[in-house]
Structure 1
Amino acid sequence: METYSEKAKIHIVFASDDRYAQHAAVAMASVLEHAKYPERIDFFLLSDGISEERAEKFRTTARRWGSEASVIPVEGEAFSEFYISAQLSRAAYMRLAAAEILPNDIDKVIYLDCDLIVRKDITELWKIPMEGNAIAAVPDCGIMASAKSKKQKRQCIGLTEEDLYFNSGVLILDLAEWRKNKYARKLLSLVQEHSYPHHDQDALNAFFYHRWAALPLEWNVIPPVWFMFLKIIFSKWRASAAAARQNPAILHYAGGYKPWEYAIHVGFNDEYYALFQKTAFADEKMPQFDARKKHRSIRRQMVRLRLGNFWGKLFAK
């Protein structure tokens, strides 16, 4: 039976290359800013070539709340042949090897992507029972509400119409079970054999098929839920999505529109900027626009946000 101690350490892990170290620090700051006992949270950053200067800024940010952060270099070449596309880097695959990279005395971790903001005490997520599973995650409504995406998942990982599919941006991992069953090695072998459209996320869903615990939607609110896309409105997920976006525990900027690529826009990225100013990266030049996305205007996102607010209020119970 899982137990929880108020004085026990909480372990959180990120994975990043040098470009995303700043964003990992902002995500970490969001955890610490909302934690009742930030000094009880330890962080690990799996590093794919992060410079010592930026690694020290990450560690310094943690110390500002009385927390500790370790930056662990990972041999990036071990992941160099894995399939990547769009804005994904090979660092995304490092979460699959966390059980082998992290110290053996750490039996449980929360994995977080770098492009998210935590808005509630992470202790509440840590306390959610995993029901005997080695992994817990939030269902991905964007995939499951799309007929096209579900067809793709049926073809590439065998997902049926009734099956749930999870997003890999927020995970609780029972590392003791991972080590016992050598899950890391089996997963890395799996991704070497396949070019999955959603990379590590597809691999995790294929490997843990029917063997994962579903977390509440509020702990990983992704753009389809935040903006209440029409495919969500016309799906069975409408009410739960509307409720989750009312007060997200984690707001996840998954996809192509990142908060640091635009000037401050209230409701879209103002929380990111407020937290950014509290990190040791606050001297970095902002915004940091990706030249590859020169046609992605923020105007579209702000229209989506207004529509999401309207539909969210209309359908929330």
Structure 2
Amino acid sequence: MALTGTQNYIPWISVTMASIMEHNSSPFAFHILVDKTDEADIEKLQKFSIQWNVPITLYYMNDANLSQYCRFERYRINGKYVAALMYRFFIPELLKDKAERALYLDGDVVCNGDITSFMDIDLQQNIVAVSEDLKGQEYAARMNVERYFNSGVILVDIQQWLSNHISKRILDDLRIAAQKHPEMSCPDQDILNVCLDGKDFFVPHTYNLPYRLVQPSVFKPKIVNEDAMQASLIHFIGAIKPWTTYNQSVPIVKVWAHAKENSPWRDVPIHEPGSQKAFHQAARDARRRHAYKEMVLWYFRFIKSKFDGTRKVGY
């Protein structure tokens, strides 16, 4: 099982891992591809390994080299291109002598059920097992592929991936796309879909259920999610994640919070609202909970933020 991210994502990656261990008894091994760690990260990962009796292997990625493939505006932060989106493409090569299959998971996925049947599924000669994106039909037409999947959960047949040279094809396509279309909003997922078109086995949302935490205004249609409590793997899509203080009453976020509490990262604070958008979301969430005094306070902070220099975006 493989997860990837920058150092600041390690706590959330580890909550994903804890949720898997809480709901599954099968022996697993975790492989984490990351840019760097410190002594505190290592100590907590060792505690996790002992707590759950599960091996954890770290792989340190060379961002200076990988950034040449991800020169997209979406991934440019503080003048540098964040290469973490590239890490997952190297999982098959890294694990080829250790496993026949690898389950890749984004760090904003929570497990709420058994996943062993998914990991043992018959891929029918396909390279990957995936689940359709929430806007699958729209994106499939845009990218001219048969079906379009969300890349937050991917079960990979390692030898099939390697024999079809998928990583090289992705890197080549990313380099070309970055030169021609640096404004692409989801380049890694788009190119994965193109390179794996016709070689992807689709499974129900049970194993990658897209869940949106955003609270729309009263003037927009209510967002309706599928029943996350009936799924095994739930993927928090969009900018708002379960590690925000104003979503903790949502049932599936409580599942995430329980896993966090049952990990060495229990004391890592979740994010307080600190932007105009976050204040607005906190107010809407309070309204959803009928906590009207709290709602008024958040709306006041939201209005005040429009005049005091508080940043507009971010959660």
Same fold, TM-score > 0.5, yes or no: yes
Alignment pair present for 1:287 and 2:245: no
Alignment pair present for 1:158 and 2:144: yes
Contact 2:273 2:279 in 1 (8 A): no
Contact 1:120 1:249 in 2 (8 A): yes
* Cα distance change of structure 1 residues 74 and 252 upon mapping to structure 2, 3 Å threshold: same
* Cα distance change of structure 1 residues 215 and 225 upon mapping to structure 2, 3 Å threshold: farther
* Distance in 2 separating the partners of 1:292 and 1:14: 31
Per-residue CA distance 1:181-231 (angstroms, 9 max, x = gap): 22112211111111442121111101111221001111111126999x979
1:42-191 matches, cutoff 5 A: 42-81=29-68, 82=70, 83=72, 85=74, 89-140=82-133, 142-144=134-136, 150=138, 154-155=141-142, 157-159=143-145, 163-191=146-174
- TM-score between the two structures when normalised by the length of structure 1: 0.76
Match of 2:23 in 1: 34
Alignment pair present for 1:253 and 2:239: no
Match of 2:208 in 1: 220
* Distance in 2 separating the partners of 1:182 and 1:197: 25
* Distance in 2 separating the partners of 1:96 and 1:301: 37
**Please, which moves more after superposition, 165-174 or 273-282?**
273-282
Percent identity over the alignment? 22
TM-aligned CA deviation for residue 254 of structure 1? 1.3
SS in 2 for 1:294: helix
Letter in 1 for 2:14: A
Match of 2:185 in 1: 197
* Cα distance change of structure 1 residues 48 and 261 upon mapping to structure 2, 3 Å threshold: same
SS in 1 for 2:37: coil
Contact 2:19 2:112 in 1 (8 A): yes
**Please, which moves more after superposition, 22-31 or 254-263?**
254-263
Letter in 1 for 2:161: W
* Distance in 2 separating the partners of 1:245 and 1:226: 15
Letter in 2 for 1:28: M
SS in 2 for 1:130: coil
Match of 1:236 in 2: none
TM-aligned CA deviation for residue 154 of structure 1? 3.4
Count of residue pairs brought into register by the alignment: 274
* Distance in 1 separating the partners of 2:110 and 2:188: 21
* Distance in 2 separating the partners of 1:174 and 1:290: 42
* Cα distance change of structure 1 residues 45 and 246 upon mapping to structure 2, 3 Å threshold: closer
Contact 1:20 1:114 in 2 (8 A): yes
* Distance in 1 separating the partners of 2:157 and 2:274: 36
* Cα distance change of structure 1 residues 289 and 124 upon mapping to structure 2, 3 Å threshold: farther
RMSD: 3.1
Per-residue CA distance 1:274-317 (angstroms, 9 max, x = gap): 111111112222335565853451454687899xxxxxxxxxxx
* Cα distance change of structure 1 residues 103 and 128 upon mapping to structure 2, 3 Å threshold: closer
- TM-score between the two structures when normalised by the length of structure 2: 0.76
Alignment pair present for 1:15 and 2:4: yes
* Cα distance change of structure 1 residues 292 and 209 upon mapping to structure 2, 3 Å threshold: farther
* Distance in 1 separating the partners of 2:51 and 2:61: 26
Alignment gaps of 5+ in structure 1: 1-11, 234-240, 307-317
Alignment gaps of 5+ in structure 2: 291-315
* Distance in 1 separating the partners of 2:253 and 2:229: 17
SS in 1 for 2:206: helix
